[in-house]
Structure 1
Amino acid sequence: MTVIYVKTALIAAMAATLLSFGVSSPGIAEVSTKAIPAQCLSMDVSPYSPPELLSIRHGKAETRFQVEIANTDETREQGLMCRPELAVDRGMLFEFKDMRERNFWMQNTIVGLDIVYIAQNGSIVSIQKNAKPFDRTPLPSHGAASGVLEIQAGLSDKLGLKPGDKVIHPFFHKP
């Protein structure tokens, strides 16, 4: 019982601190400790692996991210669920062995996300923008994708990302 209380208090304190400094992500104001799923209180949300560099070439610019890799059924299933925050330069890259239509949702995901669907050659297929925390609505890729990048909600608009932009990471450039 103490562990649950401590984790709940920690998440509430982090949200309150972020809000007091004017830092928020879409949906953080609606998140209360009552809304946090019980699954999140016992889930290990530590990083899967050391972050890897991923870049996106968009227009004349290039933006770099440090991403965790989700390349097993277990890590893809957990994704960024239960994370109380996501830094602007961080993300998670979901790697799949096949190219097909993908659907993601936001069950147990506390922070808002932009979901970037990526083809095998690294081209952005589509972007689901400002996915709402805890929403179970499927968010389709509208085309075949072998990779999915989750980044902070609203960031794709701030950067001007669009379909056809190029994601640079070893996963997309295998011989």
Structure 2
Amino acid sequence: MGMWPERATYGPAFMLSVVTVVASASGLKADTASTCRIDRVDLRGDWGVASFSVELADTEQERALGLMFRESMPRSAGMLFVYDRPTTAAFWMKNTYIPLDIIFTDETGMVTSVHSDAKPLDLTPIPGGDRVFAVLEINAGLARDYGISAGTQLRHEIFSSNQPVWPC
């Protein structure tokens, strides 16, 4: 194993891309006018901009399976869990072998909380709050490395009908 699973095994198509981080201190300009893609999520804050290729989990079955049973995930990858409407959400790491950062957002794409370094196989619930609309899971440590925290903005087409804080 050790490889990212195929579509037929775990859900939507997944495309790899390089994580692009444009730190404010670097002097580089981010392309904030680019269009949204279903397989990518962009994040921005006063720390800069980052993009991750994402696999979308937008059905009950896909959300329940999540990243379970996977032994690795590329650094530039993640999974975006989407609910039909804001809900109370809590995650756990049952059958999840990859340490993760779990990023909870509201329906506008604003990060409301971040749980860093969720431990593999831990059954302790990780609460995200009462108005969770989407959750981004990325490799553990990346939220800290990039500066992702409450107040960070996410851009993805799932937020388009909810007065997004960062429109497509």
Structure 2 length normalisation: TM-score? 0.75
The verdict on how the C-alpha distance between 1:45 and 1:105 changes in structure 2, with shifts beyond 3 A counting, is farther
The verdict on how the C-alpha distance between 1:45 and 1:110 changes in structure 2, with shifts beyond 3 A counting, is farther
Q: Offset of 1:116 from its aligned partner?
A: 0.3
Structure 2 counterpart of 1:64, from 51, 55, 65 = 51
1:49 equivalenced with 2:13 (yes/no): yes
Q: Offset of 1:47 from its aligned partner?
A: 4.7
CA–CA separation in structure 2 for the residues paired with 1:48 and 1:68: 6
Identity %: 33
Q: Aligned ranges for residues 13-92 of structure 1 at < 5 Å?
A: 45-51=9-15, 52-92=39-79
Corresponding residue of 2:129: 142
Q: Give the total of aligned pairs.
A: 135
Corresponding residue of 1:102: 89
Rg larger in structure: 1
Higher helix content, 1 or 2: 1
- SS of the residue aligned with 1:133? coil
Deviations 1:10-69 (A, max 9, x none): 45xx8xxxxxxxxxxxxxxxxxxxxxxxxxxxxx75452244011001215110000000
- SS of the residue aligned with 1:167? strand
CA–CA separation in structure 1 for the residues paired with 2:66 and 2:108: 23
Amino acid at match of 2:12: Y
Corresponding residue of 2:18: none
Q: Assess if the C-alpha contact under 8 Å between 2:101 and 2:138 holds in 1.
A: yes
Amino acid at match of 2:122: D
The answer to which of 94-103 and 127-136 deviates more is 94-103
Structure 2 counterpart of 1:155, from 126, 130, 142 = 142
Segments of structure 1 that go 5 or more residues without pairing to the other structure are 1-9, 15-43
- SS of the residue aligned with 1:74? helix
Q: Offset of 1:144 from its aligned partner?
A: 1.4
Corresponding residue of 1:132: 119
- SS of the residue aligned with 1:146? strand
Structure 1 length normalisation: TM-score? 0.72
Superposed CA RMSD: 1.7
- SS of the residue aligned with 1:63? strand
1:115 equivalenced with 2:102 (yes/no): yes
